C-alpha cells in the first residue's frame, strides 16, 4: 500500500487522468456490487412477515449488557425480529464469530460488540450473516457515558436499515402533554419513554403539539389569560413565539409540506371555520366557514387533502376535502362519534378515535372510506398518530387507570405503555426524525 502511494506520486500529471478514469470505473463497479449487496433480509412490506431469528450477544466491556438489552428491546418491538435467548449461545462474546456456532442455535444474524472507554465510550458493533458466514458491517459509535441509550439506538437503526432497507425509528422523540400540579404542560421524551423532560412554557393548558417536517419546531395551542393562541417553539434556539391570536377558540392543526403554512380552526369573527396560515407573513386564508363545529384539521402528507371533524351531520364525524375547501365528503359512517384524525406518512391511511359501546377506541380507515379497522379494545383510547415510518401508532389510554402514552404496531399488535404510572400524559406526537 505504501509503495503504491509513493509510486503514484512519482507518476506525475499524465497518470492522474488515468487514475481518475480507473477510479470512476471502479467506483461504478463498487456501486453496482454494493446495491446488489443490499439484500433485504426481511420484506416488511409483505403482509405475513417471517421474523428473522437474531442473536444479540452481550457486548464486552462497561455497559455491554445494557447496550445489548436495549438493542434487543428495540428490534423485538418492531415485530420483525425473533431475539434468541442468550442461554442458548455456544460462542462466547470473547470468541471470534464462527457461523457454525450459530447455525446450531438457529440464528440467521448475529450482533457482537465491544465497549471501550470510561467517560467517553467507543462502541464497536459487528453484524454477521450466518448463512453466508460473513460480516455485514462493523461500525464504531462514540458518545458520552450518559448517552448509552442513544448509542444503542444508533446500532439498532443500522441493523434495522440493513435488514429491512428502511430507516429505523429508534432515535426519534415524542412530544406530548402531561399534567403537573393540575396544569398541563408540554413534555418531550425518547420513543421508548426514557429521558422525560418538561419544556418550560407558560400557560395552564396546552393541546396536542405538532412537529415541523425537519423536527426542529413544535406547533401547539395554549390558553393564556383567557385567550386561546397558537404558538411555535424553536428547539434550535429554545424560543417560543405567538403566531396566531384572536377572540374565541383557536386550535392549530399540522404543517403543510412546505413547512411554512399550517392549518388551524378558529371561531374568530363569530363564525366557525378552518383556515390556513402562512407563518412567514401571517397570511390567513379562510378555507371553510359554517355554522357547525369544524375542528382538528390535518393536512395530508402530499399537502393536497385536509381531513377534519364536523358535526354538520348531527354528530361529530370525519370529513375530507381538498385543501381549497372543495369536494367535502364524509369519511366515517360507523358510530355516532368519530374525531381526532391523523394521516399515515404515505397518505394511505387515516387513524382516528371512534366511540364504540360508550368507550373511545383507535381505528384506521383508508381515505376512500374503505378498510375500517378497530385497533384497541380496552379502556378509553385517544390522540392517535403514526410514527414517521408508518409502522407504529402512538396514542393515549386510561386502560390502566391513570391516563398514559402507549405505542403499538400499526395493525394493533404489541400495545404497551411507555410513560411511567405517576405521570398523567396525553396528546403524543412522534418526531419526524
Partner 1 sequence: MKRFFGLVLAFGFIFAGCAEKQVVKPEQPATQETTQKAAAPEAKAEPAPVAAKEEPKRVETVPVTEVVETKPGVVAIENIHFDFDKYNIRDDAKPVLRGVSDWFVKNKSAKMLLEGHCDERGTNEYNLALGERRAKSTRDYLVSSGVGKDRLEMISFGEERPLCKEQTEECWQKNRRAQFVIKNAAEGSRK
Q: Is 202 in the site for partner 1 (CB under 8 A)?
A: no
Task: Kindly state the smallest distance separating residue 182's Cβ from partner 1, in Å.
Answer: 8
Q: Which is nearer to partner 1, 219 or 423 (CB)?
A: 423
Can you name the residues that pair with 347 across neighbouring β-strands?
A: none
Smallest distance from the beta carbon of 45 to partner 1, in angstroms? 26
Given the rule CB under 8 A, which of 39-47, 49-57, 78-86, 144-152 is the region that contacts partner 1? 144-152
7 touching partner 1, by CB under 8 A: yes
246 scored as a contact of partner 1 (CB under 8 A): no
Instruction: Give yes or no for residue 368 binding partner 1 (CB under 8 A).
Output: no
Kindly state whether residue 267 participates in binding partner 1, applying the rule CB under 8 A. Answer: yes
Which of 1, 13, 94, 370 is the binder for partner 1 (CB under 8 A)?
A: 1
Looking at residues 34 to 63 of the shown chain, list those that interact with partner 1 (rule: CB under 8 A): none
Select 84 or 218, whichever has its Cβ closest to partner 1: 218
Looking at 49-57, 173-181, 276-284, 342-350, which segment touches partner 1 (CB under 8 A)? 173-181
423 scored as a contact of partner 1 (CB under 8 A): yes
In the list 3, 46, 119, 282, the residue contacting partner 1 (rule: CB under 8 A) is 3
Among 101, 222, 254, 265, contact with partner 1 (rule: CB under 8 A)? 265
- State which of residues 57, 78, 101, 154 lies at the interface with partner 1 (CB under 8 A): 154
The nearer residue to partner 1, 140 or 302, going by C-beta atoms, is 140
**3-class secondary structure for the chain?**
CHHHHHHHHHCHHHHHHHHHHHHHHHHHHHHHHHHHHCCCCCCCCCCCCCCEEEEECCCECCCHHHHHHHHHHHHHHHCCEEECCHHHCCCCCCCCCCHHHHHCCCCCEEEEEEEECCCEEEEEEEEEECCCCEEEEEEEEEEEHHHHHHHHHHHHHHHHHHHHCCCCCCCCEEEEEEEECCEEEEEEEECCCCCCEECCCCCCEECCCEECCCCCEEEEEEEECCEEEEEEEECCCCEEEEEEECCCCEEEEEECCCCCEEEEEECHHHCEEEEEEECCCCEEEEEEEECCCEEEEEECCCCCEEEEEECCCCCCEEEEEECCCCCCEECCCCCCCEEEEEECCCCCCEEEEEEECCEEEEEEECCCCCCCEECCCCCCEEEEEECCCCCEEEEEECCCCCCEEEEEECCCCCCEECCCCCCEEEEEEECCC
Hey, which residues between 121 and 140 contact partner 1 (CB under 8 A)? 137, 139-140
The single residue among 39, 198, 378, 416 that binds partner 1, judged by CB under 8 A, is 198
Smallest gap, in angstroms, from Cβ of residue 143 to partner 1? 4
**What dihedral angle (degrees, nearest 10) is formed by the CA atoms of 320, 253, 193, 150?**
100
Whole-number minimum distance, CB 36 to partner 1, in Å?
Answer: 16
CB atoms within 10 A of CB 386: 23
Cα dihedral 110/64/150/351 (nearest 10): 50
For the chain, how big is the Rg over CA atoms in Å?
26
Q: Which is nearer to partner 1, 274 or 407 (CB)?
A: 274
- Least separation in angstroms between residue 43's CB and partner 1 is 26
User: Nearer to partner 1 by C-beta: 411 or 433?
Assistant: 433
Among positions 217-236, residues that touch partner 1 (CB under 8 A) are 223, 226, 235-236
Q: Does 8 bind partner 1 (CB under 8 A)?
A: yes
Report the site for partner 1 in 325-344 (rule: CB under 8 A).
Answer: 336-337, 339-340
**Of 7 and 100, which CB lies nearer to partner 1 in the complex structure?**
7
Q: How many residues bind partner 1 (CB under 8 A)?
A: 77
User: Is residue 145 part of the contact set for partner 1 (CB under 8 A)?
Assistant: no
Residue 416 makes contact with partner 1 by CB under 8 A: no
* d(C-alpha 392, C-alpha 169), whole Å: 10
Site for partner 1 in 387-406 (CB under 8 A): none
* 144 forms part of the interface with partner 1 (CB under 8 A): yes
Nearer to partner 1, 106 or 195 (CB): 195
Q: How far is the CB of 377 from partner 1 (least distance, A)?
A: 17
Amino acid at each position: 500500500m505504501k509503495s503504491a502511494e509513493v509510486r503514484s506520486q512519482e507518476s506525475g500529471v499524465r497518470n492522474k487522468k488515468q487514475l481518475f478514469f480507473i477510479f470512476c470505473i471502479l467506483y461504478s463497479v463498487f456501486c453496482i456490487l454494493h446495491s446488489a449487496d443490499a439484500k433485504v433480509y426481511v420484506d416488511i412490506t409483505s403482509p405475513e412477515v417471517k421474523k428473522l431469528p437474531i442473536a444479540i450477544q452481550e457486548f464486552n466491556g462497561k455497559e455491554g449488557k445494557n447496550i445489548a438489552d436495549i438493542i434487543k428491546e428495540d428490534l423485538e418491538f418492531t415485530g420483525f425480529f425473533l431475539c434468541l435467548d442468550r442461554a442458548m449461545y455456544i460462542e462466547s462474546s470473547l470468541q471470534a464469530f464462527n457461523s457454525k456456532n450459530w447455525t446450531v442455535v438457529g440464528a440467521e444474524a448475529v450482533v457482537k460488540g465491544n465497549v471501550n472507554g470510561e467517560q467517553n465510550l467507543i462502541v464497536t458493533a459487528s453484524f454477521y450473516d450466518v448463512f453466508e458466514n460473513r460480516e455485514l458491517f462493523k461500525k464504531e459509535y462514540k458518545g458520552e457515558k450518559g448517552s448509552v441509550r442513544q448509542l444503542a439506538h444508533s446500532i439498532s437503526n443500522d441493523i434495522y436499515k440493513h435488514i429491512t432497507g428502511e430507516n429505523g425509528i429508534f432515535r426519534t422523540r415524542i412530544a406530548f402533554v402531561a399534567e403537573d400540579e393540575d396544569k398541563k404542560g408540554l413534555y418531550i421524551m425518547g420513543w421508548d419513554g426514557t429521558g422525560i423532560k418538561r419544556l418550560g412554557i407558560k400557560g395552564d393548558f396546552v393541546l396536542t403539539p405538532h412537529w415541523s417536517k425537519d423536527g426542529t419546531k413544535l406547533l401547539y395551542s395554549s390558553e393564556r389569560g383567557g385567550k386561546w393562541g397558537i404558538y411555535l417553539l424553536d428547539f434550535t434556539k429554545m424560543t417560543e413565539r405567538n403566531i396566531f391570536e384572536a377572540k374565541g377558540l383557536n386550535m392549530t392543526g399540522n404543517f403543510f409540506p412546505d413547512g411554512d403554512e399550517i392549518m388551524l380552526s378558529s371561531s374568530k369573527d363569530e363564525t366557525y371555520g378552518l383556515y390556513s396560515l402562512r407563518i412567514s407573513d401571517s397570511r390567513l386564508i379562510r378555507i371553510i366557514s359554517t355554522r357547525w363545529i369544524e375542528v382538528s384539521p390535518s393536512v395530508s402528507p402530499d399537502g393536497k387533502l385536509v381531513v377534519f371533524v364536523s358535526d354538520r351531520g348531527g354528530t361529530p364525524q370525519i370529513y375530507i376535502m381538498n385543501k381549497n375547501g372543495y369536494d367535502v365528503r364524509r369519511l366515517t359512517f360507523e358510530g355516532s362519534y368519530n374525531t381526532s384524525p391523523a394521516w399515515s406518512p404515505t397518505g394511505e391511511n387515516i387513524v382516528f378515535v371512534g366511540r364504540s359501546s360508550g368507550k373511545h377506541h383507535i381505528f384506521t380507515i383508508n381515505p376512500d372510506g374503505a378498510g375500517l379497522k378497530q385497533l384497541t379494545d380496552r379502556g378509553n383510547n385517544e390522540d392517535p398518530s403514526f410514527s414517521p415510518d408508518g409502522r407504529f401508532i402512538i396514542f393515549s389510554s386510561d386502560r390502566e387507570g391513570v391516563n398514559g402514552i402507549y405505542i403499538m404496531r400499526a395493525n394493533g399488535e404489541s400495545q404497551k405503555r411507555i410513560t411511567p404510572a405517576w405521570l398523567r400524559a396525553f396528546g403524543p406526537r412522534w418526531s419526524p426524525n
